[in-house]
Structure 1
Amino acid sequence: MSEPKRDVTLRFLAEPQDVNFGGKVHGGAVMKWIDLAAYACSAGWSGRYCVTAYAGGIQFVAPIHVGNLVEVSAKVIYTGKSSMHVAIEVNACDPKSLNRRHTTHCIVIMVAVDESGHPINIPQWVPETDEDKKQHQTAIKLMEMRKQISEEMQIYIPKNK
């Protein structure tokens, strides 16, 4: 296996089929792009097929318009035994001006799986720079918060009768 790659950026043009009734790219299209970038990033890091386990904290900051050049950047910020926390940032611009603007960001957790779909161990990432250490700590805090949210959400899970 080659050296794990920690980040990836996907670039493409927003197309007419991506637009909602309000004339902007709809959130579902953006979420699909986020999932694709998270997969490419996590597969590049782990060298394995990966599945999405969680996507959260998605914040839509600014609209994306048809014809915009879209960049979806993904970066591993934490690794578990088989999971990777991937920070996603989406930027867009008019391709004629190339004045990028931030549109969306979130965290996605991906899990590397074997041929049977069972989690499999991955290379561990160790933060080195101050920014890496800060992102790593943020990922740990978010894990703790997700546990609390999951406990609170139990009331909404149907009980078998």
Structure 2
Amino acid sequence: MNQPQRDITLRFLAEPQDVNFGGKVHGGAVMKWIDLAAYACAAGWSGRYCVTAYAGGIRFVAPIHVGSLVEVEAKVIYTGTSSMHIALEVNACDPKSLNRRLTTHCIVIMVAVDQNGQPEKIPEWIPKTEADIAQHGTAKKLMDMRKQIGEEMQIFVED
């Protein structure tokens, strides 16, 4: 049996249609790339079709210029019964120099679902290295924080 794939890197060239009025790649394009990488990572781990359940903590650190080579690195840092927490990092560089720089990072939660949209069981990911254990612990802390934020956000949800 094939081993689940824990991480993936997708590469894109920032094209003129990705640029906003300020001349930089707009956040929506970056978020699309993040979602694509999160899906590919989650599907590779679970062997299932997956949907986005949450995207948060997105931090735009530096702009991306048109013509840049963009790398979106995604890796599983926590698994539930059907969910996968994916840590993502976006780096960009001039393709001629390959001097990469961090531009964006975030967490996305993907859920494996069947053809009826119902959650499906996935393989458990068990952290082994110190870095993996730390990221796994952080993912658990973030779950608690998201629950609290969700409760606070209810004030904005119409009945």
TM-score by length of 2: 0.99
Structure 1, unaligned stretches of length 5 or more?
Answer: none
Q: Give the whole-Å Cα distance in 1 for the aligned partners of 2:50 and 2:2.
A: 17
1:109 maps onto 2:109 in alignment: yes
Q: Map 1:22-37; keep pairs closer than 5 Å.
A: 22-37=22-37
The residue that corresponds to 1:63 in the other structure is 63
* 2:158 aligned counterpart, secondary structure: coil
* 1:148 aligned counterpart, secondary structure: helix
- Per-residue displacement from partner, 1:24-68 (whole Å, max 9, x unpaired)? 000000000000000000000000000000000000000000000
Once the two structures are TM-superposed, the CA of residue 115 in structure 1 deviates from its matched residue by 1.0
Give the counterpart letter for 2:82 in structure 1: S
The residue that corresponds to 2:154 in the other structure is 154
Q: Give the whole-Å Cα distance in 2 for the aligned partners of 1:67 and 1:76.
A: 29
Indicate the RMSD between aligned Cα atoms, in angstroms. 0.6
Identity %: 80
Give the counterpart letter for 2:56 in structure 1: G
Q: Give the whole-Å Cα distance in 1 for the aligned partners of 2:2 and 2:38.
A: 19
The residue that corresponds to 2:11 in the other structure is 11
- Per-residue displacement from partner, 1:103-157 (whole Å, max 9, x unpaired)? 0000000000011110000000000000000000000000000000001111111
Structure 2, unaligned stretches of length 5 or more?
Answer: none
Once the two structures are TM-superposed, the CA of residue 2 in structure 1 deviates from its matched residue by 2.2
Q: Map 1:4-153; keep pairs closer than 5 Å.
A: 4-153=4-153
Q: Give the whole-Å Cα distance in 2 for the aligned partners of 1:28 and 1:12.
A: 14
Give the counterpart letter for 2:144 in structure 1: E
TM-score by length of 1: 0.98
* 1:147 aligned counterpart, secondary structure: helix
Give the counterpart letter for 2:18 in structure 1: D
* 1:4 aligned counterpart, secondary structure: coil
Q: Give the whole-Å Cα distance in 2 for the aligned partners of 1:14 and 1:2.
A: 34
- Per-residue displacement from partner, 1:5-31 (whole Å, max 9, x unpaired)? 000000121000000000000000000
